[in-house]
Amino acid sequence: MKKIYVLDTNVLLHDPNAIFSFEDNEIVIPLAVIEEVDGQKRRQDEVGRHARVIAHYLDELRTQGKLSEGVALKYGGNLRVQLKHQESQLLPEDLDPRKADNQVIALTLQLKAESNGTPVILVSKDINVRVKADALNLQAQDYETDKMVLREEDLYDGMSTLTVSPEDIETFTKTNVYQPSNGQLFNNQFVHFKSLNGNKSSALGRYDATAHQVVALAPIKKEIWGIQPKNLGQRFAFDILLDDRVPLVTMTGQAGTGKTLLALAAGLSKVLDQHRYRRLLVTRPVIPMGKDVGYLPGDKDEKLRPWMQPIYDNLEYLMGCIYKEQMAADMIRHIQDKGLFEAEALTYIRGRSIPQQFIIVDEAQNLTPHEVKTIVSRAGEGTKIVLTGDPNQIDHPYLDFRSNGLCYAIEKFKNNPLAGHVTLTKGQRSELAELAAKLL
């Protein structure tokens, strides 16, 4: 049975291709939504780009017929732009008819009254819109085309514990390989071997799906830019970060587990010590926690400094581990002047091809799946990309644990030989910081 889907503004701004995602059904875009999209088109970010893309899509469809009467879509179904009417009879007095959200709800009520039994569904990423629609006995749903049916406890953690005999651990320690008896391991999944008899003997490895065996972790020197792995997760993180055969690494963990610090230490080692990559490029979404600070004076670097300050804090700490503390800031400026380190806004990533660079994308949980695809597809020959973030600290208004780009990438790449994932669970910043992450 065909359905009628009414799309809210946030759906189109989240994914302009949403109009092609409803199969052989009818899509209705309220005129109020077109007005809101038009108000976002001058923004110089992903939202503005999406507003311009959907405007171009609608303009192309307009050449095929009248949007007010409905135009066929290339993947099935049809789309029309419609103006609400009869709002006074349909919309409750408690809802302000001047608000765009309420105008969308009013149109959905109108279509339901005229549908002759055809299901009418309001699609919105705004929770309050869905709640109001439900209160008015309307069907409402989130836009879930780019979501995964994923609970927090089901997110791939990148590690497995195998309980084996003491003899197996001893053999693995000598030969550095182990042939698992089951096929439940993913490519590049880390393995923690524990002894069957309960003694303290254990070993660490990583699964190689090509060879169908677990191989021992590569040895690392005592310190990587002054940083020693302090727990199992950090040891796994350094193993995958320093492996040039794995060009995509994802790392998750609560605040204080060392995600950014480990990624920066590995990047500095690869760029400055081993000269494996030409530049260390660090970027993060410009999404504020709390009220935005507004426009900032200065050139690009000065404008970015407040957003990138957590990166510089970690960088100064690492530099201070190698050089005298007073020289740390000078060394950062030196590697920037030499073109060996760059802090960049995601806005400037689009359209670039970035070869031979070690790229760290911090706070990746605030990216959409489309934005993650855009970033990863910028990787040129010999580039390594590290995505770090905490899926439980999302500041983006229309993303959640299931729909953010970091979790999306983790699940999509979890059995790929070109990708590896690490979950950091133990906080190292301070006892107070770890306690706050758990309790607050």
> In tens digits, what is the pLDDT along the chain, a chain of 440 residues?
899 999 999 999 988 889 998 989 999 999 999 999 999 998 877 788 889 999 999 999 999 999 999 999 988 899 999 987 655 467 888 888 889 999 999 999 999 999 888 999 999 999 999 999 999 999 999 987 655 545 667 789 999 999 999 899 999 999 999 998 766 899 999 999 998 877 778 899 999 988 899 999 999 877 899 899 999 999 999 999 999 999 999 999 988 899 999 999 999 999 999 999 999 999 988 754 444 445 555 555 666 666 688 888 899 889 988 887 668 888 888 998 999 998 887 766 766 788 999 999 999 999 988 889 988 988 889 999 999 999 988 888 778 887 889 999 999 999 999 999 999 988 766 677 667 766 76
Domain end among 141, 164, 192: 141
Q: How many CA atoms within 13 Å lie on the side-chain side of 62?
A: 7
Yes or no: say if 400 and 394 are a contact pair by the CB < 8 Å rule. yes
Kindly list the distances between the CA atom of residue 349 and the CA atoms of 296, 379, 436, in Å, as whole numbers in the listed order: 20, 10, 34
Domain end among 141, 165, 199: 141
Yes or no: say if 251 and 421 are a contact pair by the CB < 8 Å rule. yes
Q: What are the strands, taking DSSP E only, across 134-219? A: 139-141, 159-164, 177-178, 190-195, 202-208, 213-216
For residue 109, tell me if it sits in a domain. Answer: yes
Same domain, 230 and 358: yes
Domain end among 126, 141, 156: 141
Number of compact structural domains in the chain: 2
State which residues form the domain around 358: 222-439
Q: What is the Cα–Cα distance from 23 to 2, expressed in whole angstroms?
A: 9
- Residue 227: DSSP 8-state: B
- Rounded to two decimals, the pTM is 0.77
Q: How many CA atoms within 13 Å lie on the side-chain side of 361?
A: 27
Report strand pairing: 4-7 vs 120-123. parallel
Residues in CB range of 171: below 8 A, 6 or more apart: 178
What the block records as the tokens of 211 is 């060879």
At 343, which helix (H) or strand (E)? Answer: strand 341-345
For residue 406, tell me if it sits in a domain. Answer: yes
For residue 267, tell me if it sits in a domain. Answer: yes
What the block records as the tokens of 131 is 């709640």
Yes or no: say if 125 and 14 are a contact pair by the CB < 8 Å rule. yes
CATH number where 70 lies? 3.40.50.1010
Q: What is the Cα–Cα distance from 15 to 133, expressed in whole angstroms?
A: 22
In angstroms, what is the C-alpha Rg of the chain?
A: 26
Structure confidence at residue 293 (pLDDT): 43
Q: What are the strands, taking DSSP E only, across 24-147? A: 26-30, 71-72, 78-82, 120-123, 139-141
Yes or no: say if 426 and 190 are a contact pair by the CB < 8 Å rule. no
